[in-house]
Amino acid sequence: MSPSIPAQQHDAPGGDRDRDRDGGQSASLTRVPPQDLDAEQSVLGALLLSGSPRSATHRYFGEILETGIVAEEYYRPAHTTIHRAICDLHEAGEPVDPVTVADKLTERGELARVGGIGYLHACVQAVPTAANGPQYAEIVRAKAYRRAVIESAQRILEYAYSEAGDEDEVRGLVEQQLTGIIAGTPGLHAAPPAVGDLYLDWVADLEEIQNGRKTGLTYGFTDLDRLTSGMQPGNVTVVAAQSGIGKSTLALNSAVAAAKTGARVMFSSLEMSSTELMQKIAAAEGKIALHHLTHQGGLTAEGWETVRRLGPELFQTLPLRVYRPDGASLSDITAAARACARDGGLDLLVVDYLQLVEVQQSRNITREQAVAAVSRGLKNLAVQLDCHVIALSQLNDDGLVRESRAIKNDASVMIKVERPDADEPESPRAGEVDLVVEKNRFGPTARVTVAAQLHYSRFVDMART
C-alpha cells in the first residue's frame, strides 16, 4: 500500500458531500466501501492465537506480519487500534495474547472503545485456523487497496468538478493520484535493474568463483560437487530413485555434509521418524552398523562410547533441524521453512519426498497436476528464501519420474540414483552406486560413481573406500 494513498476508515458509508451534476448523491458514496470484517477479525484472532513464542502456532504470527499488513488497512477503527497494540507489544519483545493486549489497551484508555476484552476473545473464536492467517491478511490488504483506489478517484472527480486550477494543474493532480494507485498495487515491484547496474557486482562475484572462494553447498561427494559447482541458493536438486535404492540416505548424507560446513539445514521427512533419522546420522558419522542401533543389545561398550562422543562433537553443534509434520501439506513445510529462515536463517531444505506432499486439490485437478504444484511451490520457496532445495522423487518401474514431468522442468540439477546390484546381487559392480546427472544447469551431464556402505547408512566417494 502506497503511503501516498492512505486507506481511509469508516464505520458507515460516506455522507452527501459529493453531488453529481444533476444534484443527486454520488453513486460511489451510496455504496459501502469494499471491506471484509470477518477477514479482519480472523487476522486479529490469528495474531492473538499465535503471538506467544511458546505457542505451537507461533510461526504463523511472523508470516502474517510478513504480508506487509499495517493497522491503517483495516476498515473498522477498532481493528486498527487492536492491531497497533499487538504490534507495539511484539516490537517490545512482549508476548501477545488477549490478556496482554487488553492490558496495553487499558493503559492507553482504549479498551472500552474497541469493545472490551470480550471482543478480543470474540476475534480469537472467529478465526477458523491460525495457519490461514496470511491469507486472511491478504484479503484485508486487497480490500484496503480498493478503498484507496476509490478515494483517489473521488479526489480527482472533486477537483475536476470544482473547475479550480488550469489544465496543467488538473493533469498534475491526476498523474499524482494515478501514480500513487499504481505504486500501491499489491505485488507490483519497481522496474528491474539494468545490466550496467549489475556489472560490478557480477565481476566481484566472478572473481570469488574463479579464485575458489565462492562455491555452492557441498553434496558431500567430490566429483558431484566439481560437476555441479555445489548446491546454489535459489535452485532445486531433484534426487530420484526407485523404492529401496537409498535416495533418503543419500539426501541425509548431503544434508549432514552441508551442515558440517556451517550451512543451516532443515530436513523434512514424510517417511521416516525423527528417531530413524537420528539413527541413520549416528550410524553414518560414527561408523556404527545400523542394525546395532535398532536391535536390543546390539551396541557394544565401544558403540555406546561412540554414541556419547557424537553428542558434543556432532549433534549439539550441527545446524541441522529435523521436521516431521503432523500432516503432509506443502503449506506446513513452507511455514516451517520460513520459521527457520526467521530464526537464524536457512541455506538448505530437504523434502523427502515429493509424491507424499499434499496440496489443496479441487475436484478437477489430477494427481500429476498436484505433484507439479508441489514442485513449483518448492522452486518458488527456494527463490523466496534464497536457499537450495533437495526434493526427493519416486521413480516408477520404468525408471521414469512418477506422475509429473514438471518435476524435471523445475529442477536445476536432476540426479537419478542407480544401484547395479539392486537387481543383480552377483553383479561385478556390487557395492557401487551411480549418480546419473541427467540435467545440470551449471555444467555437463555425467555419471558419478560412489560407494554404498548401507550397513552404515551412507554413501562415500570411491577414493574413501
The model's pLDDT over 400-438, given as tens digits with 9 standing for 90+, comes to 665 567 788 889 999 999 988 877 878 888 888 999 999
Cβ atoms of 351 and 287 closer than 8 Å: no
* pLDDT 10s digits, 64-80: 988 889 999 999 999 99
Higher pLDDT, 365 or 297: 297
Per CATH, is 222-464 categorized as 1.10.260.40? Answer: no
Per-residue pLDDT, averaged over 298-303, amounts to: 88
pLDDT bucket at 170, cuts 50 / 70 / 90: confident
DSSP for 211-259 reads: TTS---B--S-HHHHHHHTSBPTT-EEEEEE-TTSSHHHHHHHHHHHHH
DSSP for 28-67 reads: GGSSPPS--HHHHHHHHHHHHHH-STTSTTHHHHHHHHHT
Q: Could you please state the CATH topology (level 3) that the domain comprising 27-183 is classified under.
A: DNAb Helicase; Chain A (1.10.860)
Whole-number pLDDT of residue 4: 37
Q: Shortest CA distance to 454 belongs to which of 237, 291, 317?
A: 291
Q: Shortest CA distance to 413 belongs to which of 132, 225, 252?
A: 225
Q: Distance from first CA to last CA of the chain, Å, rounded?
A: 60
Q: Is 187 exposed, middle or buried (0-12, 13-18, 19+ CB in 10 A)?
A: exposed
* pLDDT 10s digits, 138-147: 999 999 989 9
* pLDDT 10s digits, 307-330: 999 999 899 999 999 988 776 778
Per-residue pLDDT, averaged over 181-191, amounts to: 60
Whole-number pLDDT of residue 192: 75
pLDDT bucket at 17, cuts 50 / 70 / 90: very low
Whole-number pLDDT of residue 94: 86
Overall pTM surpassing 0.85 (yes/no):
no
Whole-number pLDDT of residue 351: 94
Per-residue pLDDT, averaged over 242-261, amounts to: 92
Residues 6 or more apart in contact with residue 151 via CB below 8 angstroms: 5, 7, 8
How many C-alpha atoms does 143 have within 13 Å on its Cβ side?
Answer: 22
Least confident of 154-168, 186-200, 226-240, 366-380: 186-200
Measured in degrees and rounded to the nearest 5, phi and psi for residue 120 equal -60, -45
* Residues constituting the chain: 465
Q: For 457, left (φ over 0), alpha (ψ -120 to 50), or beta?
A: left
Q: Which three cell numbers stand for residue 39?
A: 477477514
> What is the domain partition of the chain in residue ranges?
27-183, 222-464
Least confident of 148-162, 273-287, 434-448: 148-162
> Buried (b) or exposed (e) across 380-397, using 16+ Cβ within 10 A?
ebbeebebbbbbbbbbee
